[in-house]
Amino acid sequence: MLDNLQALVDASITFKTIPPMIPILFYFLGTQSSLVNIKETFSNKDTFLYALLFQVVMLPLIGLVLSQVFSNSIFSLSIAIVLLAPGGLISGILTYFKKGNIPLSVTLTSITSLVSPLTTVLWLSVISVNLEGFDFNFVQTLLQLIVLIFIPYLIGFILNFKGFSFVTPLSIFLDKFLKIYVLIITFTGPFELREPLVEYFGESVVIVACSIVSIFLLQNLTSKLTDINKVDDRTILIEALCQNFPIVLTFSIILGIPEMAVFGVIYYLMTLTVVVPFSLIKSN
The pLDDT value recorded for residue 92 is: 67
The pLDDT value recorded for residue 2 is: 62
Phi, psi (degrees; rounded to nearest 5) at 87: -65, 165
Average pLDDT by consecutive 10-residue portion of the chain (284 residues)?
A: 75 88 90 79 84 92 94 92 79 70 81 88 91 86 92 92 92 91 87 89 93 92 84 84 81 88 89 76 54
Distances in whole angstroms, Cα of residue 267 to Cα of each of 45, 260, 275: 31, 10, 12
The pLDDT value recorded for residue 284 is: 45
The pLDDT value recorded for residue 95 is: 72
| Closest by Cα among 31, 279, 281 to 155 | 31
Q: Which residues contact 187 (CB under 8 A, 6 or more apart)?
A: none
Contact 182, 246 (CB under 8 A): yes
pTM over 0.85: yes
Contact 77, 132 (CB under 8 A): no
CATH of domain 2-280: 1.20.1530.20
The pLDDT value recorded for residue 243 is: 76
Q: What is the pLDDT of residues 209-251, one digit of tens each?
A: 999 999 999 998 998 888 788 888 888 888 888 877 788 888 8
How many residues are given for the chain? Answer: 284
The pLDDT value recorded for residue 248 is: 86
The pLDDT value recorded for residue 282 is: 55
What are the sequence ranges of the domains in the chain?
2-280
Q: What is the pLDDT of residues 18-27, one digit of tens each?
A: 889 999 988 9
Query: Which uninterrupted H or E stretch holds 157?
Result: helix 151-162
Burial 80-114 (b: 16+ CB within 10 A, else e): bbbbbbbbbbbbbbbbeebebbbbbbbbbbbbbbb
| Calpha distance 204→151 (Å, rounded) | 34
